[in-house]
A and B are shown apart, each in its own frame.
Chain A
Amino acid sequence: MNSQATDAPRPTGRAPHFDVAIVGAGPAGLAAAAAASDSGARVAVVDAAEQPGGQYWRHRSEAAGVPEGGEYHHGWKQYLALRARFDSGIAAGRITYLPSTSVWMARPVAGAVSGAAGASGAAGASGAAGAGAGSPGPLASHPAFALELTPAHGGGPSPVPSIRAAALVLATGGYDRQLPVPGWQLPGVMAAGGIQAFVKQNGMLPGSRFVIAGTGPFLLPVAANITQAGGSVAAVLESASLMGWLPRAHRAAGVPAKGIEGAGYVAAFIKNRIPYRIRTVITEILGTEHVTGVRTARVRSTGETIPGSEREITGIDGVGLGWGFTPQLELPVQLGVSTRVDVDGSLVGIVDETGLSTVPGLYLAGEITGVGGAPLSVLEGEIAGRSAASSVLGAQGAVTASERRILARNRGFAEAMHLAHPVPAGWADRLTPETTVCRCEEVSFGELGHAHTELAADDLRTEKGLTRAGMGWCQGRVCGFAVSCLSAGAGAVGAEAVPSAESAAHSLSQSAKRPVAQPLPLSALRDLQD
């Protein structure tokens, strides 16, 4: 058995085997790794990024020695604490960290003892005995999962092409949810989170003067970081009225840290004179070579734009768009976990309070159990990592009363946030027949409408077959939500605007099924045999 994964021979030889494998080293994955390692498990952590942190704690390059003081970050101290636990797990030989590596496929290992219940009884003793400081003993149980790996970029095979684990924690996070708007394909238009990520990673801005638009409190840190990095923000446009918070104010009050963070943004907005307009949307993005301006309008709660409220904002070179986040569910779906549609309309994995999914031995943590922000992701990761380790080592990993309380409070806050910042009704009424909906295949709203009304395409799969929407490079990651809504007949003003939970779930689960979770060179397939 080869425990030093990086020394594993390839392409022959058995795949290295771990007690717990974790995919993702963001807030949830880092916490899961720290907790599983602290419990004495032998852990593998695979992450596509070059260094730990995920989206929330994405930072300047450690390899290049660029100092990171955490000035663009919240909870940076918490990151450093988690990181210290993570690094000491690596130093003790309990954590094998595989950065710049993507998991492109996850599958159950046929004939394995079930990772959770089955393995724990028999293996508990040896696992516990082997958990002494710095000298992990023999592995606790039979592998239940196989993960196929590929370098996150560049060509060639992964140094470790495949790993096995008795229990698996998926913490793959999410990305900005998008809705099409005329002109959004112009260079300079970015996902709001993409601007944030760019600043955190590169210490520079992808433009100089921005308009940030969409919905949700996340628009605020994006604008704040832009001004902090020396750029300016012409306006932040929030489609919701914020009245949605009123009946739910007590839930916000349950998470005081959010209030303090919010107060910081208000201060930054006042200091930098950033206009924050509610019930306002971008109706068109202007420019020829790249973005130079936007048209905006106020909207009624029913979705119609208010006549006479149109304005133009010019002299900008950047636009950030974000309508909440879409969890990255390829791997859970590949492994057959049951899913549901969350209050924000996202497809998420179903878990119990320990993070256990409907597949034995498979735990989910962070955004993929429901978008709820970094603090909740950390707590879920901590619990899932601990539970996964104890399921393999045969120890107790129960959730404490205080954890249960904090989980409930954060979930309550997340739900209030989703209900107060819905995807606005009537968004599709602002599209023209020429508006690009699928960016990769350049499929227009007109083409999709034709497929829906004339050819009876009423789900994403049919739309895809008829129009090629969602069949390009990104495999529908960007247009999937919009096409799901449009093909389910939604997008109109009023109650019609969001598809029924049922049709959305059906359509979204179709779009989450991707044969390949991450892009990979064909050589990865050649080397699949082991």
Chain B
Amino acid sequence: MSAQPIDPAQGEVRATFEGEPISCSPGASVAAALIATGKRGWRETKSGATRGLFCGIGVCFDCLVEIDGESGQRSCMIPLREGMDVRQAKGPGGTGEEPRGDARGQELGNALGDAVSDARDEEAGE
């Protein structure tokens, strides 16, 4: 680990968004690659509005995409990697017929109470 990288960046990273080529310099985010193609928005809300970047640091979830089949990924946080298959977000928070709301958060909120008390019980025996 070095604070001053010695090797200069080489070439560019190539991937696809909805099958179309996107690219950016090494280390840049998926969002940067989308912006570089001139896109400002890439996610559709339930009301049909377009969204792209907002907070830029992983807090707001406006920039969601699907990456290599994994949904709900924050494009502002993730460096583009060679050959990534990036898709428009589907499901809650993206387009689609799922119920209103954050399924992930909801499910968790409910599951979590139990998980926390289970974990506490076990911890007591540690």
Chain A binding surface SS class: loop
**CB-CB contacts below 8 Å: B9-46 with A:** 9-10, 24-29, 31-32, 35-36, 40-41, 45-46
Of A150-158, A308-316, A388-396, which stretch is located at the interface? Answer: A150-158
> A290 contacts which chain B residues (CB < 8 A)?
40-41, 50, 52
Chain A: minimal CB distance from B10 (Å): 8
> B108 contacts which chain A residues (CB < 8 A)?
515-516, 520, 522, 525
> B4 contacts which chain A residues (CB < 8 A)?
67-68, 80
Given known contacts A187-B51, A197-B57, A440-B61, A63 and B40 CB-to-CB distance under 8 angstroms: no
Q: How far apart sit A295 and B27, CA to CA, in the bound complex (Å)?
A: 37
In this assembly, does A9 line the interface, its C-beta being within 8 Å of a C-beta of chain B?
Answer: no
In this assembly, does A216 line the interface, its C-beta being within 8 Å of a C-beta of chain B?
Answer: no
> A441 contacts which chain B residues (CB < 8 A)?
100-101
The proximity string for B residues 74-116 relative to A, scoring 1 for CB distances below 8 Å and 0 otherwise, is 1011110000000000001100000011101101110111011
Given known contacts A80-B3, A198-B53, A439-B60, A519 and B104 CB-to-CB distance under 8 angstroms: yes
> A187 to B40, Cβ gap below 8 A?
yes
In this assembly, does A61 line the interface, its C-beta being within 8 Å of a C-beta of chain B?
Answer: yes
In this assembly, does A475 line the interface, its C-beta being within 8 Å of a C-beta of chain B?
Answer: yes
> B5 to A289, Cβ gap below 8 A?
no
**CB-CB contacts below 8 Å: A94-149 with B:** 105, 107, 109-111, 146, 148
**CB-CB contacts below 8 Å: A31-64 with B:** 48-50, 55, 60-64
Chain A: minimal CB distance from B93 (Å): 5
Chain A: minimal CB distance from B17 (Å): 15
> B45 contacts which chain A residues (CB < 8 A)?
442
Chain A: minimal CB distance from B106 (Å): 8
Of A201-209, A413-421, A488-496, A502-510, which stretch is located at the interface? Answer: A201-209
> B102 to A471, Cβ gap below 8 A?
yes
In this assembly, does A87 line the interface, its C-beta being within 8 Å of a C-beta of chain B?
Answer: yes
Most B CB within 10 A of own CB, among A68, A152, A175, A202 = A202
Q: How far apart sit A198 and B76, CA to CA, in the bound complex (Å)?
A: 8
Residue of A nearest to B54 (CB): A190
Interchain CB contact (< 8 A) of A478 among B1, B55, B67, B93? B55
Given known contacts A188-B52, A190-B53, A516 and B100 CB-to-CB distance under 8 angstroms: no
Chain B: minimal CB distance from A530 (Å): 7
Please tell me the size bucket of the interface on A.
35 or more
> A528 to B49, Cβ gap below 8 A?
no
> A187 to B50, Cβ gap below 8 A?
yes
Given known contacts A194-B54, A528-B119, A529-B118, A202 and B73 CB-to-CB distance under 8 angstroms: no
Chain B: minimal CB distance from A469 (Å): 12
> A110 contacts which chain B residues (CB < 8 A)?
120, 123-124
Which B residues form the contact surface with A (CB < 8 A)? Answer: 1-10, 24-29, 31-32, 35-36, 40-41, 45-47, 49-62, 64, 67, 70, 72-74, 76-79, 92-93, 100-102, 104-105, 107-109, 111-113, 115-116, 118-120, 122-124, 126
Which A residues form the contact surface with B (CB < 8 A)? Answer: 14, 48-50, 55, 60-68, 79-80, 83-84, 87, 90, 105, 107, 109-111, 146, 148, 152-155, 175-176, 185, 187-191, 193-198, 201-204, 206-207, 289-290, 317, 439-442, 468, 471-475, 477-478, 515-516, 519-520, 522, 525, 528-530
Pairs across A and B, CB under 8 Å, 20 listed: A60-B27, A64-B27, A79-B3, A84-B3, A87-B2, A107-B119, A152-B77, A190-B53, A190-B54, A190-B55, A191-B57, A194-B54, A195-B56, A198-B29, A204-B25, A439-B54, A471-B105, A472-B101, A478-B60, A519-B72
